[in-house]
Amino acid sequence: MTEKPATLRPIHYLGNKAKFLSPIVSGVVELTPSGRSILDLFAGSGVVSREFARHRPVVSVDIQAYSATLAGALCAPRAYGRSTRQRIAARAREWLDDVTPKVADLLEYEAAVSKSALSAPERFARLVEEGSLTSLVATDEDLARAKMSAEPQLASARAMLTSYYGGVYFSYAQALELDALLAAIRHQHEAPAEATLVAAVLGTASDLVSTVGSHFAQPSRLRDKSGAVKATVAARVLRARSNSALELFDRWLQRYASLDPAGYPCTTTTADFRAVLDTLDASVGAIYADPPYTRDHYSRFYHVLETIALGDDPGVSLAPGTSVPSRGLYRAQRHQSPFSIRSEVVGAFDSIFVAAKRQRLPLVLSYSPQGGGTKARPETRLMTIEGLVNRAEGFFTSVTVHPIAASSHSRLNRTEYNGELPAHAEVLIVARP
């Protein structure tokens, strides 16, 4: 018998704590009286919420809606058997059989341009740069014509992912498959589908995107500074476009099917952390907080996943000072986190400290040297560990710092860590009332 996986990484997510689950979970659980729940205030990919829910009830919070979907699926995965999966795939194919012929020009254009991408990369680069139907303008007349004829068809099929992100983050063919899956699971703004199904679409989109880091901050840049197309990047994007969303989706459902339920209930909430802290009651026994530490807004990096989770028409924000869509095709409205804004970050931490003090709750803060920016553009922290500890000391009777290593267990005793902190150490800051 194959061993069941302990956990899953449901999407590629900057700053996720999958590598540090053991020390975080053992540390927080030991501070939480049995019978009381753990508040995971910035749940992100949901991997930490799932592990907490193996030991205590969890309240899993994040401002991004995809987080609630992922945490819901990870904590209480639904096992879809082969016949149900086949039924979903058949519905998706039916949808494709209906819509594909109506956008044949667009798909034929894409197939031709992709076929000659390595020998004639200019047109392929333009497809990635100008493929979105949020603007019907395109340098290549054939592309402009194909977009024009496909636009009303995609609108009437409610094929949001193809209209907004097709050609750019995914091929049109892949984006159509993603739209077909959303239609097959009947996922709409008004009536969201079951979490495991939507989580499987999120995992699929995260696997399909060809950017380094698998995020959506901006599409792959195919040109060098002189404007010449870089063959290696074109080849990478092309390779990523050979994957099938339908196949990946099926694999994701199988992964969720082999995951044990976490055990304890996990309540998911899509809300600002301050709204949740304002209504804390005695059922909560400890707070775990893993907020952003850099200027990078998660809402910018994962906006496509947010659109999938919400199943809405996202609209598009404009490039600053212009009337053209932003290069990243960001949603018209997106959250700006106070943790990523220099003038607001101290106040944001203070509101966690105030609430924990008011409720006399222990607080465990993660502080990560990684997880911000990209490899090419690492971001510096808006708060230092020292700054955070000094601030927290004004609210708690004891504040200690604990470096943690991947796969270690840690008892968060009161001994202050006196050694030099390794510059790249992942740490937990433990504040006791």
Ligand X SMILES: C[S@@+](CC[C@H](N)C(=O)[O-])C[C@H]1O[C@@H](n2cnc3c(N)ncnc32)[C@H](O)[C@@H]1O
Which of 87, 213, 106 has the alpha carbon at shortest distance from 163?
A: 106
- Considering only residues 72 to 111 of the shown chain, the ones binding ligand X according to CB under 6 A are none
Q: Does 290 bind ligand X (CB under 6 A)?
A: yes
Q: Does 379 bind ligand X (CB under 6 A)?
A: no
Annotate 352-377 with b (16+ C-beta within 10 A) or e (fewer): bbebbbebebbbbbbbbbebbbbeee
Q: Which is nearer to ligand X, 45 or 268 (CB)?
A: 45
Q: Does 337 bind ligand X (CB under 6 A)?
A: yes
Q: Does 15 bind ligand X (CB under 6 A)?
A: yes
Window 258-287: contact mask with ligand X (x via CB under 6 A): --------------xx--------------
Bridge partners for 39 per DSSP:
59, 287
What is the sign of the dihedral through the CA atoms of 259, 188, 302 and 290?
negative
List phi, psi (to 5°) of 164: -85, -50
- Considering only residues 105 to 144 of the shown chain, the ones binding ligand X according to CB under 6 A are none
Among 25, 27, 37, 42, indicate the residue that binds ligand X (CB under 6 A).
42
Q: Which is nearer to ligand X, 58 or 133 (CB)?
A: 58
Q: Does 298 bind ligand X (CB under 6 A)?
A: yes
Tokens of 260: 């044990």
CB of 231 to ligand X, least distance (A): 35
> If you ran DSSP here, which 8-state letter would residue 338 be given?
G
Which of 68, 66, 130 has the alpha carbon at shortest distance from 302?
A: 66
Among 13, 80, 169, 395, indicate the residue that binds ligand X (CB under 6 A).
13
CA pair distance 3, 412, nearest whole angstrom: 31
Stretch that binds ligand X, among 15-23, 148-156, 158-166, 220-228 (CB under 6 A): 15-23
Q: How many beta carbons lie within 10 A of that of residue 94, not counting itself?
A: 13
Q: Does 165 bind ligand X (CB under 6 A)?
A: no
Residues that bind ligand X (rule: CB under 6 A) add up to a total of 24
CB of 62 to ligand X, least distance (A): 5
Q: Does 382 bind ligand X (CB under 6 A)?
A: no
Q: Does 291 bind ligand X (CB under 6 A)?
A: yes
Termini Cα distance of the chain: 47
Among 28, 39, 63, 389, indicate the residue that binds ligand X (CB under 6 A).
63
Window 338-377: contact mask with ligand X (x via CB under 6 A): -x-------------------------------x------
- Considering only residues 16 to 35 of the shown chain, the ones binding ligand X according to CB under 6 A are 16-17
For residues 111 and 102, the answer to whether their CB atoms sit within 8 Å is no
Annotate 59-69 with b (16+ C-beta within 10 A) or e (fewer): bbbbbbbbbbb
Q: Does 47 bind ligand X (CB under 6 A)?
A: yes
CB of 344 to ligand X, least distance (A): 10
Count of all residues that appear for the chain in the document? 433
CB of 250 to ligand X, least distance (A): 24
> If you ran DSSP here, which 8-state letter would residue 102 be given?
G
Q: How many beta carbons lie within 10 A of that of residue 10, not counting itself?
A: 29
Decide: helix, strand or coil at residue 61. strand
| Residues binding ligand X (CB under 6 A) | 13, 15-17, 42-45, 47-48, 61-64, 67, 272-273, 290-292, 298, 337, 339, 371
